[in-house]
Amino acid sequence: MIRAPRLAEDTYSLVYAGHQRRVERFGPYVLERPCPSCLSASQAPPVEADARFNAEAPSGHRWAGPNVPLENWEVALHGLTFELGLTDKGQVGLFPEQRDQWRWIDERTRAASGRATTPTLLNLFAYTGGSTLAALRAGASVVHVDASRAAVSWARRNAALSGYPEAPVRWIVDDAQAFVRRELRRGHQYDGIVLDPPTYGHGASGQPWRIEHDLPALLAGCDALLAQRSGFFVLTTHTTGLDPEGLRRVVLDALGVPEGDRGLETGTLQIEPLEGEPVRLGAFARLAA
């Protein structure tokens, strides 16, 4: 049995959000990034950012400021430790708006732990592994799937940093749709499935992904992987135009169940700032077992 490490104290905070920008403290660094949904007109706090992201700058020069991080560094959130690094798309490898989903995954995994077997979780579009780590800490074994080899390697480093270097994880570089189809043919089942699909992208072999076209079939496949165990399910998205109500309709249509059935819960992905209103960055839909 893997012993969970001592929880790390959070070193992330949202300092300010407004004027379509957000300022966040990631451990020793304060970073400023675009945020189209951050519409507050309140006065910004007197905090100077170490680095600011500009998507219009040439590739390789999009982060600028008086103290741009030149190497990767570590940040703690939700008692887990993450390696962070600046990317040319403005991401750093951590999505704090997912923290409430990690809590929920932890709760549902522990609820499933009363069975004779270890709970199993499938994490699709798993990126740097926040949901994987939350499930591991709650006692699950995880199949972690992402089309990016670099992202899977990053997630493995996060697992080691969080105290789970030998945890029961299958680290898989693959297309999510193709993997789910193969799991259905194999007759595999899961106690929980988590997915955070992009708006558009490509699989490990170049397969195109468009959320408005491909998500319903993927959801139906995921539902079939949960059928025999009545497992739990978490879908999150940052796609503009897919608010909680829109996401509810997509999920109910894909699963072929009427409104109100199966206890579907939807809401917003958000971060609570040190001051001011919560910042909404996406939507979630989830079903408890």
Percent of the chain scored above 70 by pLDDT? 92
Q: Is residue 289 predicted with pLDDT exceeding 50?
A: yes
Cβ atoms of residues 75 and 26 within 8 Å: yes
Token pair of 248 as six digits: 């509810």
pLDDT attached to residue 3? 52
Q: How many beta carbons lie within 10 A of that of residue 186, not counting itself?
A: 8
- CA-wise closest residue to 17 among 89, 86, 97, 36: 36
Cβ atoms of residues 110 and 138 within 8 Å: yes
| 3-state SS, residue 51 | strand
Confidence of residue 1 (pLDDT cuts 50, 70, 90): very low
Sign of the four-CA dihedral 111, 113, 119, 122: positive
pLDDT attached to residue 116? 54
Cβ atoms of residues 234 and 194 within 8 Å: yes
Confidence of residue 258 (pLDDT cuts 50, 70, 90): low
Cβ atoms of residues 214 and 251 within 8 Å: no
Q: Is residue 6 predicted with pLDDT exceeding 60?
A: no
- CA-wise closest residue to 195 among 225, 174, 227, 218: 218
First to last CA, the chain: 25
The per-residue pLDDT of the chain, averaged, comes to 90
Confidence of residue 259 (pLDDT cuts 50, 70, 90): low
Length of the chain: 289
- CA-wise closest residue to 94 among 19, 155, 4, 7: 155
191 backbone dihedrals φ, ψ, rounded to 5°: -85, -20
Cβ atoms of residues 185 and 122 within 8 Å: no
pLDDT attached to residue 231? 85
Q: Is residue 56 predicted with pLDDT exceeding 80?
A: yes
- CA-wise closest residue to 212 among 258, 252, 248, 250: 250
- CB under 8 Å, gap of 24 or more: what pairs does 69-72 form? 69/29
Token pair of 117 as six digits: 């077997």
pLDDT attached to residue 186? 96
Kindly list the structural domains of the chain, giving each domain's residue range(s) and its CATH number in brackets, ordered by start.
12-84 (2.60.40.1180), 96-287 (3.40.50.150)
Average pLDDT over residues 1-13: 69
Cβ atoms of residues 235 and 192 within 8 Å: no
- How many helices and strands in the chain, by DSSP H and E? 6, 16
Residues 62-100: tens digit of each pLDDT: 999 999 999 999 999 999 999 999 999 999 999 999 999
Range of lowest pLDDT (95-109, 114-128, 130-144): 114-128
Q: Is residue 275 predicted with pLDDT exceeding 60?
A: yes
Read off the pTM.
0.92
Confidence of residue 260 (pLDDT cuts 50, 70, 90): low
pLDDT attached to residue 195? 97
